[in-house]
Amino acid sequence: MSVVTTVPEDARPQTGPKLTANRLPRWTPPAVAAGAIALGCGIGAAGGLESHLQWGLISALLFLLGGYLISARVEGRRQAKDRLATSVVWVAFILAVVPLVSLTVYTIQQGIGVVDGNFLSHSMKGVIQTGKGGGIYHALLGTLQQVGLATVMAAPIGLLTAVYLVEYGRGGLAKAVTFFVDVMTGIPSIVAGLFVFSLWNLALGFNYSGFSGSLALAILMIPVVVRSTEEMLKLVPNELREASYALGVPKWKTILRIVLPTAIGGITTGVMLAVARITGETAPVLMLVFGADYINSNPFDGPQQSLPMYIWQQYSVVNNDNGYARAWGAALVLIAFVMGLNLIARGIARWRSPKGGH
């Protein structure tokens, strides 16, 4: 839009800024994109650039620049800026999609051939690191036990803390707890591992075990459970509580019989998402569970294995294609498990969300 505010009032009394503007046709952005990609690939091929990543980056830059210049010429600066913003946002979208899709596709590609009945039902006992064969049964078992134990510890503590914050929490203590829940969410998992090691293994003298790992996992899980449960409890309308008090039901029964059941869907979702998060934790497990090649079904005694640690160990022998293959297979199983938990959790959230949630 060109500036016409300088038109003298008396010359054209009833006129303001004009309403029409030169506009680019609707097909311009896709056309510019196509041109930019073609040119980008051309430059890439001509310049002998090996990495397709560079081709893409050059194309993206050409797209942004080209779109801006064309629009600035035809439509004016303001429109051009608007179009530039739109293009940048679209490029950001594509920049995000590329690695994320690549990660998923690559994992499936590499892992799908490895995962079979044998892989799922055997341990690594007697298998040489660089040899073929072996499986993840011991790791799967260890992961399930460790995560299960962590959940048994973390869920009640998290739930009660959330109840305290929402239903009772007032004053300094509640403020401190709220603050530290947030801070605790950000504790690096390796620090949780160090802490449990210094407490459980060094100070109390216990040995490596699956349970020791679950202690660290529980520390990581508690704040996540608290936060999600808190949100859910806040969604329970106050009218329900008041109706219950009016009937003479004491507060604790109201919480147990009315508030928690109302929010149970959301709470379950939160716990499952937390479970999904700790299932993939490697660092604390690495230092606390130690890693075993054989099946150890007792999480309270001796080293165990876990899926993430298994991947780490299989990867860590350099240039070992058999190990890499097993790592990808385990990664696929781990992703499938975590994603499955996520999908189910979100399904539950949709199903049983309390009314009044968004």
Partner 1 sequence: MTSSPPAAPRGRERRARDSRVGDKIFMNFARGAGILLLVIMAAIAGFLAWRSGLALSKNDGNFFTTFEWTPDAPKPVFGIAVLVFGTIVSALIAMVIAVPVAIGIALFISHYAPRRIAQPFAYLVDLLAAVPSIVYGLWGALFLVPHLDGLTSWLNQYLGWTYLFDQTQSGTPRNLFTVGILLAIMILPIITAVSREVFRQVPRMHEEAALALGATRWEMIRTAVLPFGRPGVISASMLGLGRALGETIAVAVVLSSNSVLSLHILDAGGGTFAQNIALKFAEAGENGRNALMASGLVLFVITLLVNGAARLIIARRKEYSGANA
Partner 2 sequence: MAKRIDVSGLSAYYGTTKAIEDISMSIEPRSVTAFIGPSGCGKSTFLRTLNRMHEVIPGARVEGKVLLDDENLYASNVDPVAVRRSIGMVFQRPNPFPTMSIYDNVVAGLKLAGVKKKAVLDEVVERSLKGANLWKEVHNRLNKPGAGLSGGQQQRLCIARAIAVEPQVLLMDEPCSALDPISTLAIEDLIGELKSQFTIVIVTHNMQQAARVSDRTAFFNLAGVGQPGKLIELDDTQRIFSNPSVQATEDYISGRFG
Residues that bind partner 2 in the complex, under the rule CB under 8 A: 1, 3, 14, 16-23, 78-79
Size of the site for partner 1 (CB under 8 A): 101
Under rule CB under 8 A, residue 287 binds partner 1 = yes
Give me the helices (H) in 164-209, please: 171-185, 189-196
Q: Tell which positions 206-225 bind partner 1, by CB under 8 A.
A: 219, 222-223
Residue (52 or 132) nearer to partner 1, CB = 52
Contact 61, 92 (CB under 8 A): no
Classified as helix, coil or strand, 9 is: coil
Q: Which of 28, 129, 320, 342 binds partner 1 (CB under 8 A)?
A: 342
Q: What is the DSSP letter of 353?
A: P
Under rule CB under 8 A, residue 300 binds partner 1 = no
Q: Between the CA of residue 158 and those of 176, 211, 228, 329, 349, what are the distances in Å?
A: 15, 19, 9, 33, 18
What is the Cα–Cα distance from 231 to 178, expressed in whole angstroms? 12
Residue (24 or 345) nearer to partner 2, CB = 24
Under rule CB under 8 A, residue 155 binds partner 1 = no
Tokens of 308: 């993430």
Smallest gap from Cβ 75 to partner 2, in A, equals 8
Tokens of 43: 């430059």
> Which option in partner 1, partner 2, none does residue 20 bind, with CB closer than 5 to 8 A by kind?
partner 2
Under rule CB under 8 A, residue 161 binds partner 1 = yes
What is the Cα–Cα distance from 99 to 107, expressed in whole angstroms? 12
Residue (36 or 311) nearer to partner 1, CB = 311
Under rule CB under 8 A, residue 228 binds partner 1 = no
Under rule CB under 8 A, residue 245 binds partner 1 = no
What is the Cα–Cα distance from 229 to 181, expressed in whole angstroms? 12
> Which option in partner 2, partner 1, none does residue 12 bind, with CB closer than 5 to 8 A by kind?
none
Please list, in sequence order, all residues whose beta carbon lies within 8 angstroms of the beta carbon of residue 333, skipping any fewer than 6 positions away.
111, 115, 120, 136, 140, 307
Residues 170-189 as x/- pattern, contact with partner 1 by CB under 8 A? ---xx-xx-xxxxxxxxxxx
Residue (12 or 257) nearer to partner 1, CB = 257
Residue (40 or 223) nearer to partner 1, CB = 223
Among 29-37, 43-51, 66-74, 233-241, the segment contacting partner 1 (CB under 8 A): 43-51
Contact 145, 304 (CB under 8 A): yes
DSSP string, 253-315: HIIIIIIHHHHHHHHHHHHHHHHHHHHT--HHHHHHTB--SS----TTSB-B--HHHHHHHHH
> Which option in partner 1, partner 2, none does residue 168 bind, with CB closer than 5 to 8 A by kind?
partner 1
Q: Tell which positions 320-339 bind partner 1, by CB under 8 A.
A: 324, 327-328, 331, 334-335, 338-339
Number of neighbours of residue 354 by Cβ within 10 angstroms: 16
Residue (10 or 50) nearer to partner 2, CB = 10
Contact 148, 272 (CB under 8 A): no
Report the sign of the C-alpha dihedral through residues 193, 196, 202, 206, in that order.
negative
> Which option in partner 2, partner 1, none does residue 18 bind, with CB closer than 5 to 8 A by kind?
partner 2
Smallest gap from Cβ 23 to partner 2, in A, equals 6
Residue (9 or 239) nearer to partner 2, CB = 9
Smallest gap from Cβ 24 to partner 2, in A, equals 11
Q: Which amino acid is it at 193?
A: G
What is the Cα–Cα distance from 259 to 248, expressed in whole angstroms? 15
Tokens of 45: 């091929």
Q: Which of 107, 129, 320, 353 binds partner 1 (CB under 8 A)?
A: 107
Contact 111, 329 (CB under 8 A): yes
> Which option in partner 2, partner 1, none does residue 21 bind, with CB closer than 5 to 8 A by kind?
partner 2
Residue (14 or 238) nearer to partner 2, CB = 14
